[in-house]
């Protein structure tokens, strides 16, 4: 049996399922790299990790909420696809940032995009 067609996932289009899997995979990789970065810098804080886990649970709740809204309003999963795409984009930026802080040398084009991402992120905060 195809695990992508099990349970409630069979209600979702294939593209949405792959975006959801990409988000979950990116999130796990980001958390792993965050722990590695904290270990490297010798500044692990359980409170910071707890906040990250709470944020992750809230993001999952938000995704479920968006899926329900998409289904109720009959939006053909456009809202869900857009939301998941933004979450994947955010996680990709965070992964690149963690890799850089772990000492991985990034190509110049990636560094420039990461600087733009960080500038926009600091304006939002």
Backbone angles phi, psi at 13, to 5 degrees: -65, 155
Q: Do residues 51 and 59 touch, judged by C-beta distance below 8 A?
A: no
- How far is CA 29 from its chain centroid? 9
Helix (H) or strand (E) holding 91: helix 78-101
pLDDT digits (tens, 9 = 90+) for 61-119: 999 999 999 999 999 999 999 999 999 999 998 999 899 889 999 888 887 877 776 67
Mean residue pLDDT across the chain = 87
Q: What is the pLDDT of residue 113?
A: 75
Q: What percent of the chain has pLDDT over 70?
A: 87
Nearest CA to 27 out of 89, 77, 106 is that of: 89
């Amino acid at each position: 049996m195809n695990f992508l067609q099990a349970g409630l996932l069979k209600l979702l289009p294939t593209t949405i399922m792959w975006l959801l899997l990409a988000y979950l995979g990116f999130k796990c990789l980001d958390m792993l790299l965050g722990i590695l970065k904290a270990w490297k810098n010798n500044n692990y804080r359980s409170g910071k990790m707890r906040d990250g886990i709470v944020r992750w649970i809230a993001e999952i709740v938000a995704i479920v909420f968006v899926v329900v809204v998409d289904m109720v309003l009959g939006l053909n999963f456009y809202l869900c696809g857009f939301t998941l795409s933004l979450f994947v984009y955010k996680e990709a930026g965070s992964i690149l940032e963690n890799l850089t802080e772990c000492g991985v040398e990034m190509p110049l084009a990636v560094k420039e995009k990461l600087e733009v991402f960080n500038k926009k992120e600091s304006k939002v905060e």
